[in-house]
């Protein structure tokens, strides 16, 4: 198949391109090379059809879709950002860009889509109270966070909660601008599928890390921020108490999930969207990740600061059972192995 990969020069996109070409697919890349993610020219693998253009450019999108069998949509502005002033950029890049792409796909009669979504659509993860069962914590309060009370209490009785794995049927509860734009992308894709008879696999990535992450940018994930600090000779600064639970999944495993989703998208019903969590299945705390990365790097033990960002969530870890059982995917890179590799891997200029 000829696959169009939007954002194919980015961190995750470039690994997907490598996986697709390795699997024998023809690949076309559309990437705007936005400065927030790209400070140097990307390396384009041999045989890849390269197009530098913004996914919001309808003419460029229409040209890039010519002859395409499926689209792998990775182009997005990522991360929590600096403050709410970033909101127009997030909405423009993520939601308007997706709308332009989907309109072009409708016109070109391209009916297969793999969408890069995110775990952030859930907000907080899965919690259970010993008295009230499964509950949804309310918004985090500044006063609690300033007092060092980071764990969300039961909204009914105030007792501590037990955190567990979130599955794809959990209600969406986006708690920052980036999260809202990712959920909007899913809704747009679902509307496109219903209108055209298309099929969508929405991959909800958990905390992706690995070689080629951008360095020294506020839009990168926490693993990149810690690795960037180590490269500068600084200790990683861990917010809150370091006890936030996450699912860190290696970028090559994410690329493998995209391959599986492309193979499986034809098995979905016409007009349907199917969401899949993409996680390692092995939760770790942010503090554990920082310690593993620093130990592999060789110096600069992490510093736990007690600082916080109101838009962050406390615990969010994945159940990737659906992806494993329906599409036959399973992660290949273990946490310790992946962190050791990441500690030695070069980062891209950010």
Q: What DSSP string describes 219-248?
A: TS-HHHHHHHHHHTT---EE-TTS--EE-E
- Determine the length of the chain: 350
- What span, in angstroms and rounded, lies between the C-alpha atoms of 124 and 314? 7
Indicate the SS3 state at residue 190. Answer: helix
Task: Break the chain into its structural domains and give their ranges.
Answer: 2-126+164-344
From the CB of residue 228, how many other CB atoms can be counted at a distance below 10 Å? 19
Burial class (CB in 10 A: 0-12, 13-18, 19+), 56: middle
Angstrom CA distances, 314 to 55, 164, 183, 225, 299, stand at 33, 12, 19, 18, 27
Nearest of 311, 293, 314, 149 to residue 228 by alpha carbon: 293
Average pLDDT over residues 100-122: 97
How many CA atoms are closer than 13 Å to the CA of 10, on its beta-carbon side? 28
- As a whole-number percent, the residues of the chain with pLDDT over 90 amount to 83
Residue 304 — very low, low, confident or very high, per pLDDT cuts 50/70/90?
very high
- Please list, residue by residue across 20-48, b when 16 or more beta carbons sit within 10 angstroms of its beta carbon and e when fewer do: bbeeebbbbbbbbbeebbbeeebebbeeb
Max distance between CA atoms of the chain, in angstroms, equals 60
Average pLDDT, the chain: 93
Residue 40 — very low, low, confident or very high, per pLDDT cuts 50/70/90?
low
Among 30-44, 70-84, 99-113, 140-154, the range scoring the smallest mean pLDDT is 30-44
DSSP label of 216: S
- Please list, residue by residue across 307-346, b when 16 or more beta carbons sit within 10 angstroms of its beta carbon and e when fewer do: ebeebbbbbbbbbbebbbebbebebebebeebbbbbbeee
Q: What is the pLDDT of residue 76?
A: 93
Tell which wins on pLDDT, 37 or 314.
314
Q: Give the pairing of strands 126-129 and 112-118.
A: unpaired
Residue 219 — very low, low, confident or very high, per pLDDT cuts 50/70/90?
low
Catalytic residues: 178
Average pLDDT over residues 219-236: 88
Query: C-alpha 184: how far from its chain's center?
Result: 14
Q: Is the dihedral of CA 133, 138, 143, 147 positive or negative?
A: positive
Domain 2-126+164-344, second-level architecture: 3-Layer(aba) Sandwich (3.40)
- What span, in angstroms and rounded, lies between the C-alpha atoms of 285 and 122? 18
Residue 346 — very low, low, confident or very high, per pLDDT cuts 50/70/90?
confident
Q: Is the dihedral of CA 301, 306, 311, 314 positive or negative?
A: positive
Per-residue pLDDT at 218 exceeds 90: no
Per-residue pLDDT at 43 exceeds 90: no
Rounded to two decimals, the pTM is 0.94
* Residues 69-93 pLDDT 10s: 999 999 998 876 667 888 999 999 9
Residue 340 — very low, low, confident or very high, per pLDDT cuts 50/70/90?
very high
> What is the helix (H) or strand (E) element at residue 214, kind and residue range?
strand 214-215
């Amino acid at each position: 198949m000829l696959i169009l990969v939007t954002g194919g020069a980015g961190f995750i996109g470039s690994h997907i391109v490598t996986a697709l070409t390795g699997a024998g697919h023809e690949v076309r890349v559309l990437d705007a090379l936005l400065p927030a993610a790209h400070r140097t020219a990307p390396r384009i693998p041999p045989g890849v059809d390269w197009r530098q253009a913004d996914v919001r450019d309808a003419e460029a999108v229409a040209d890039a879709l010519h002859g395409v069998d499926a689209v792998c949509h990775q182009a997005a502005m990522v991360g929590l950002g600096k403050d709410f002033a970033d909101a127009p950029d997030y909405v423009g890049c993520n939601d308007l860009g997706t709308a332009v792409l989907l309109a072009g796909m409708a016109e070109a009669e391209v009916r297969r889509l793999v969408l890069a979504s995110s775990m952030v659509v859930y907000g907080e993860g899965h919690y259970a109270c010993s008295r009230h069962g499964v509950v949804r914590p309310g918004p985090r309060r500044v006063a609690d966070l300033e007092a060092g009370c980071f764990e969300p209490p039961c909204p009914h009785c105030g007792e501590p909660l037990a955190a567990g794995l979130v599955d794809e049927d959990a209600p969406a509860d986006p708690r920052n601008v980036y999260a809202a734009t990712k959920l909007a992308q899913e809704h747009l894709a679902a509307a496109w599928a219903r209108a055209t008879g298309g099929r969508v696999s929405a991959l909800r990535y958990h905390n992706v890390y690995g070689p080629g992450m951008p360095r020294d940018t506020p839009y990168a994930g926490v693993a990149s921020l810690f690795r960037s600090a180590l490269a500068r000779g600084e200790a990683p600064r861990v917010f809150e108490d370091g006890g936030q639970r996450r699912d860190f999944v290696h970028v090559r495993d994410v690329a493998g999930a995209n391959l599986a989703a492309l193979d499986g998208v034809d098995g979905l019903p016409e007009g349907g969207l199917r969401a899949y969590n993409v996680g390692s299945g092995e939760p770790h705390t942010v503090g554990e990740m920082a310690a593993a990365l620093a130990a592999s790097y060789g110096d600069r033990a992490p510093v736990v600061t007690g600082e916080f960002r109101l838009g962050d969530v406390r615990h969010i870890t994945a159940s990737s059972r659906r992806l494993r059982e329906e599409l036959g995917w399973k992660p290949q890179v273990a946490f310790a192995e992946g962190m050791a590799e990441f500690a030695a891997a070069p980062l891209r200029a950010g």
